[in-house]
């Protein structure tokens, strides 16, 4: 039996790329500083790289599935051409939130549906996996399925609704800091098995 591998679940807007609200124009894709270098290294640590993104613009009619698919193809192509990075999967929630911003489905973060679905599809060990995102909804989604989570403090979180499920393992300023943090955590888990 093949051992399950860990994943890095990655939020798209405000985390992997600069947040341009409801953008589907590939010309406006800009990677966050340090993201490509960090992901290249993390992929070498045998993490599956999985994008998990809320896209309520579909439900709101701001763009259609074809436009979003073209944007995501361009994103994947640029990751490969610019950094030799392949995503293992892209999970999209197409639903709008309910009143108050809470999920009206099982997949919209902070619900964990996209992470759980990807884990089942790709043999992911959720307990050894991480989520990086720019909002506490990303953190909560990770914690709801047993992953650890880092908040990338790029200005995406504006509500700061606190609860125990929404406390990240770390709040970091950029991708370089995240790569260094993850490297330390992995070294600790090797040196002291069972501590993470």
Q: Which of 101, 171, 88 is nearest to 133 (CA)?
A: 171
Residue 38 · residue 100 · CB < 8 Å: no
Q: Which of 105, 165, 170, 117 is nearest to 141 (CA)?
A: 165
Q: Which three-class secondary structure string do you get for the chain?
A: CCCCECEEEECCECCCECCCCCCCCHHHCCECCCHHHHHHHHHHCCCEEEEEEECCHHHHCCCCHHHHHHHHHHHHHHHHHHHCCCCCEEEEECCCCCHHHCCCCCCCCCCCHHHHHHHHHHCECHHHCEEEECCHHHHHHHHHCCCEEEEECCCCCCCCCCCHHHCCCEEECCHHHHHHHHHHHHHHHHHCCCCC
List the catalytic residues.
11, 13
């Amino acid at each position: 039996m093949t051992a399950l591998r860990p994943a890095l679940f990655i939020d798209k807007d405000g985390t992997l790329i600069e947040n341009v609200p409801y953008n589907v124009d590939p010309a406006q894709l800009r990677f966050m500083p340090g993201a490509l270098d960090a992901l290249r290294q993390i992929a070498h640590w045998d993490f599956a790289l999985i994008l998990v993104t809320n896209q309520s613009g579909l439900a709101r009619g701001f763009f259609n599935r074809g436009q979003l698919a073209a944007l995501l193809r361009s994103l994947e192509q640029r990751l490969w051409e610019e950094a030799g990075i392949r995503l293992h999967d892209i999970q999209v929630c197409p639903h709008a939130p309910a009143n108050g911003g809470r999920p009206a489905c099982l997949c919209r973060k902070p619900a964990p549906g996209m992470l759980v679905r990807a884990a089942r599809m790709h043999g992911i060990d959720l307990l050894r996996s991480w989520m990086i995102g720019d909002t506490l909804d990303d953190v909560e989604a990770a914690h709801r399925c047993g992953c650890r989570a880092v908040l990338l403090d790029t200005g995406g979180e504006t509500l700061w609704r606190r609860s125990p499920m929404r406390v990240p393992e770390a709040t970091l300023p950029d991708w370089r800091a995240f790569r260094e943090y993850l490297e330390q955590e992995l070294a600790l888990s090797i040196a002291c098995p069972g501590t993470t």
